[in-house]
């Protein structure tokens, strides 16, 4: 997460808002199921210009939320998850741009998800929640944009699962998206990524506390969810960063304990256990199941349409960035995407950013990101295809 946030005294105060969409006409999901109404939690930063040409949609990653920037009140210990990148004079400059961020469908931070109450039964959905895909997430967010009076976005931007959403936006709503910024992502999840997700889900499914997903009146699958997070967390770090940050250093002593019951002897162990514990306080296991599955399923064009053809619908200018030490979404996958974009005769800039931080770099290396996004947005804003 961002480490260069503004000091608390200067922080913007923001509020998470909620819109209820698909009240009259339900959304038809990729699965064919219909769904509605759908509540969407969102935040906005900056002001929509009079001619409504300065809106940017931020797509969050797997476990993110609508609270991308600012603080909810002066006593918040931490600002939003991308606060170092969104704000006055920052990468997404709120003096110039109107920035929207919304929690994803299937999530657990305000937008309708498996923990929400199904209006048709009066009970929580749990695993009766419809199967959702990246496309469905984007359909909900496009409706939110329209609800906010935005029919054209200067940019859609996101990393990881957020980058997948950006790609889906670009081909499903070509007329709405003037530029698409895809960070640390790919046109589909590779088998290794599916494998790690599969083990995380297995840990949740097999936790006795999971109770078939109907655990909201009890503690729930705390162990399984924390294991899933620990596994995933390793994939977000690079081999180099984990070595530099922790190496083989011990947590409490200079000497080995020779004690089989001591689970957190190395610093890296203590760190992972801590990450697992923190995560279960803020995330819902059912949402984790649904959203990792959406990530697995994402495959632009699918098996029947070549990627180039799938991308041909897009009208956006693309900016694709990968990170040298990201092994969950390696640069090769971004290069393949860029190659397909070029074959589809799209305008595309690509940069492989140097960073030791692995997949997490898009959340950490914000100066670097600002340095490439600022001129790109300036170029898009002043280019001819205004709304």
Sites of contact with a second copy (CB under 8 A): 30-33, 127, 129, 131, 188-192, 194-196, 198-199, 201-203, 205-206, 208, 223, 227, 230-231, 234, 237, 239, 242-243, 246-248, 254, 256, 258-261, 263, 265-266, 268-269, 272-273, 276, 289-290, 293, 296-297, 299, 303, 327, 330
Tokens linked to 343? 């074959």
Minimum distance from residue 276 beta carbon to a second copy (Å): 8
The residues that bridge with 299 in the sheet, in sequence order, are 188
Tell me how far apart the alpha carbons of residues 365 and 367 are, in angstroms, rounded to a whole number: 6
Tell me how far apart the alpha carbons of residues 307 and 359 are, in angstroms, rounded to a whole number: 23
Comparison of 202 and 335: residue with beta carbon closer to a second copy: 202
Sorted by sequence, the CB contacts under 8 Å of residue 154 that are 6+ apart come out as: 53, 54, 55, 56, 97, 178, 179, 377, 380, 381
Minimum distance from residue 55 beta carbon to a second copy (Å): 32
Does residue 233 have an active-site annotation?
no
Sorted by sequence, the CB contacts under 8 Å of residue 138 that are 6+ apart come out as: 165, 168, 169, 172, 173
Residue with structure tokens 């199904």? Answer: 118
Minimum distance from residue 230 beta carbon to a second copy (Å): 5
Does residue 326 have an active-site annotation?
yes
Sorted by sequence, the CB contacts under 8 Å of residue 230 that are 6+ apart come out as: 272, 273, 275, 276
Minimum distance from residue 340 beta carbon to a second copy (Å): 16
CB-CB contact of 81 with 74 (8 Å): no
Look up residue 152 and give its DSSP letter: S
Does residue 160 have an active-site annotation?
yes
Look up residue 29 and give its DSSP letter: P
Which candidate in 2, 160, 179, 322 is catalytic? 160
User: Counting every residue, how long is the chain?
Assistant: 387
Minimum distance from residue 128 beta carbon to a second copy (Å): 9
Comparison of 53 and 269: residue with beta carbon closer to a second copy: 269
Comparison of 72 and 327: residue with beta carbon closer to a second copy: 327
Cis peptide before 37 (omega within 30 of 0): yes
Comparison of 27 and 366: residue with beta carbon closer to a second copy: 27
Comparison of 332 and 371: residue with beta carbon closer to a second copy: 332
Q: Mind telling me the catalytic residues?
A: 160, 326, 359
């Amino acid at each position: 997460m961002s480490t260069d946030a503004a000091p608390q005294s200067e922080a913007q105060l923001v509020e998470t808002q909620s819109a209820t969409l698909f009240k009259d006409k339900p959304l038809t999901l990729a699965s064919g199921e219909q769904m509605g109404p759908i509540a969407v939690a969102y935040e906005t930063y900056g002001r929509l210009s009079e001619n409504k040409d300065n809106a940017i949609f931020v797509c969050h990653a797997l476990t993110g939320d609508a609270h991308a920037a600012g603080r909810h009140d002066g006593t918040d210990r931490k600002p939003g998850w991308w606060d170092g990148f969104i704000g006055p004079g920052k990468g997404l400059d709120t003096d110039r741009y109107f920035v929207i961020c919304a929690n994803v469908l299937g999530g657990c931070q305000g937008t309708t998800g498996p923990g929400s109450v199904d209006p048709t039964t009066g009970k929580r959905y749990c695993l009766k929640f419809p199967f959702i895909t990246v496309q469905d997430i984007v359909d909900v967010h496009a409706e939110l944009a329209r609800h906010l009076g935005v029919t054209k976005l200067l940019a859609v931007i996101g990393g990881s699962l957020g980058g997948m959403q950006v790609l889906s936006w670009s081909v499903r709503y070509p007329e709405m998206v003037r530029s698409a910024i895809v960070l640390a992502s790919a046109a589909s999840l590779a088998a290794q990524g599916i494998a790690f997700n599969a083990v995380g889900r297995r840990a949740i499914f097999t936790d006795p506390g999971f109770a078939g997903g109907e655990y909201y009146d009890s503690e729930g699958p705390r162990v399984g969810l924390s294991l899933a997070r620990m596994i995933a967390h390793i994939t977000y770090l690079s081999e180099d960063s984990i070595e530099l940050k922790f190496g083989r250093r011990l947590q409490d002593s200079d000497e080995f304990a020779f004690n089989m019951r001591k689970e957190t002897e190395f610093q890296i162990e203590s760190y992972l256990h801590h990450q697992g514990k923190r995560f279960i306080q803020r995330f819902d296991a059912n949402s984790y199941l649904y959203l990792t599955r959406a990530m697995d399923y994402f495959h632009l064009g699918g098996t029947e349409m070549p990627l180039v053809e799938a991308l041909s619908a897009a009208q956006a200018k693309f900016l694709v960035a990968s990170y040298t030490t990201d092994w969950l979404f390696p640069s090769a996958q971004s290069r393949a995407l860029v190659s397909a974009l070029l074959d589809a005769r799209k305008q595309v800039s690509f940069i492989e950013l140097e960073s030791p931080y692995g997949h997490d770099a898009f959340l950490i290396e914000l100066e670097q990101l600002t340095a490439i996004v600022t001129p790109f947005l300036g170029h898009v804003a002043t280019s001819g295809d205004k709304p």
